[in-house]
Structure 1
Amino acid sequence: MARTEELPNDFGEKFDLSNDPQAQAQAPNAGALESLISQAAPFPLKQDAQSNTADATQSGAAMPPAMASVKQHTADEVLKMMNRSPLFMTTLDETDGEGGENIELEALKALAYEGTRAEVAGNFREQGNECARAKQWTDAREFYDKAIAALKAPAKPQNLEEGSMILEVAEIDEEAEKKKELEIEEACYINRALCHLEKKNYRSCIRDCASTLRINPQNIKAYFRSATACLALDKLDEAVDACSIGLSLDAQNSALKTLSHKISARKTHLEQLERARREREQRKAAEAHALALALKARNIRTRTTARPPSDLEDAQIKLEAPIDPASTLSIPVLLLYPLHAQTDFVKAFRESETLAEHLAYILPVPWDEKGEYAAESVECYVETAAGGLIKAGKKLPLLKILGTGKVELVDGLLSVNVLPKGAAAAWIEEFKRRRKMP
Structure 2
Amino acid sequence: MEQWELDADADIDADADDAMDEFLDKFQNQSYSGGFHEDQWEEEFEKVPLFMKKAPSEIDPNENPDLACLQSIIFDEERSPEEQAKTYKNEGNDYFKEKEYKKAVISYSEGLKKKCTDPDLNVVLYTNRAAAQFYLGNFRSALNDVTAARKLKPCHLKAIVRGALCHLELRNFAEAVNWCDEGLQIDSKEKKLLEMRAKADKLKRIEQRNIRKAKLKEKKEQNQNKILFQAIKARNIKLVSEATSEDEDSDLEDLGELFLDRISSENRYGARLSVDARGRLSWPVLFLYPEHTQSDFIAAFHEDTRFIDHLMVMFGEIPSWDLEEKYCPANIQIYFEDDGGTELYRVPPESTLLQVLQHPRYFVKALIPAFLLCVGASSFCKNYLRGKKLHEIKW
* Global fold match (TM > 0.5): yes
Give the equivalent residue in structure 1 for 2:361.
406
**Match status 1:333 vs 2:333:** no
Give the equivalent residue in structure 1 for 2:346.
391
Q: Tell whether the 8 Å contact from 1:364 to 1:371 is kept in structure 2 after alignment.
A: no
Give the equivalent residue in structure 2 for 1:361.
313
Q: Deviations over 1:53-75 (max 9, x none)?
A: xxxxxxxxxxxxx4xx737xx73
**Match status 1:70 vs 2:37:** yes
Aligned ranges 1:299-378 → 2 under 5 Å:
299-306=236-243, 313-321=269-277, 327-338=279-290, 343-363=295-315, 366=318, 373-376=327-330, 378=332
Q: Which moved more, 1:224-233 or 1:248-257?
A: 248-257
* Residue in structure 1 matching 2:336, options 374, 382, 387: 382
Aligned ranges 1:40-55 → 2 under 5 Å:
40-42=32-34
Q: Tell whether the 8 Å contact from 1:331 to 1:350 is kept in structure 2 after alignment.
A: yes
User: Measured at CA, do residues 431 and 104 of structure 1 come closer, stay the same or move farther in structure 2, by a change above 3 Å?
Assistant: same
User: Measured at CA, do residues 102 and 296 of structure 1 come closer, stay the same or move farther in structure 2, by a change above 3 Å?
Assistant: same
**Match status 1:229 vs 2:166:** yes
**Unaligned stretches of 5+ residues in structure 2:** 1-17, 245-265, 391-395
Matches of 2:90 and 2:292 in 1, distance apart? 82
The aligned amino acid for 1:208 is D
Aligned ranges 1:115-194 → 2 under 5 Å:
116-133=80-97, 135-150=99-114, 152=116, 181-194=118-131
Q: Deviations over 1:3-36 (max 9, x none)?
A: xxxxxxxxxxxxxxxxxxxxxx99956x973367
Matches of 1:203 and 1:111 in 2, distance apart? 35
Larger Rg: 1
User: Measured at CA, do residues 433 and 283 of structure 1 come closer, stay the same or move farther in structure 2, by a change above 3 Å?
Assistant: same
Matches of 1:340 and 1:185 in 2, distance apart? 74
Q: Tell whether the 8 Å contact from 1:365 to 1:373 is kept in structure 2 after alignment.
A: no
User: Measured at CA, do residues 210 and 404 of structure 1 come closer, stay the same or move farther in structure 2, by a change above 3 Å?
Assistant: closer
Q: Tell whether the 8 Å contact from 1:301 to 1:407 is kept in structure 2 after alignment.
A: yes
User: Measured at CA, do residues 38 and 330 of structure 1 come closer, stay the same or move farther in structure 2, by a change above 3 Å?
Assistant: farther
Q: SS of the counterpart of 1:380?
A: strand
Give the equivalent residue in structure 2 for 1:85.
48
> What RMSD in Å do the two structures reach over aligned CA positions?
3.8
* Residue in structure 2 matching 1:95, options 23, 39, 60: 60
Aligned ranges 1:194-343 → 2 under 5 Å:
194-306=131-243, 313-321=269-277, 327-338=279-290, 343=295
The aligned amino acid for 1:199 is L
Q: Deviations over 1:187-222 (max 9, x none)?
A: 333233222223332223223223322332221111
Q: SS of the counterpart of 1:433?
A: coil
User: Measured at CA, do residues 103 and 271 of structure 1 come closer, stay the same or move farther in structure 2, by a change above 3 Å?
Assistant: same
Matches of 1:401 and 1:383 in 2, distance apart? 12
The aligned amino acid for 1:90 is K
User: Measured at CA, do residues 38 and 215 of structure 1 come closer, stay the same or move farther in structure 2, by a change above 3 Å?
Assistant: farther
Q: TM-score, normalised on structure 2?
A: 0.71
Shift of 1:106: 2.8
Shift of 1:84: 3.5
Matches of 2:19 and 2:343 in 1, distance apart? 125
Q: TM-score, normalised on structure 1?
A: 0.65
Shift of 1:38: 5.2
**Unaligned stretches of 5+ residues in structure 1:** 1-24, 43-65, 153-177
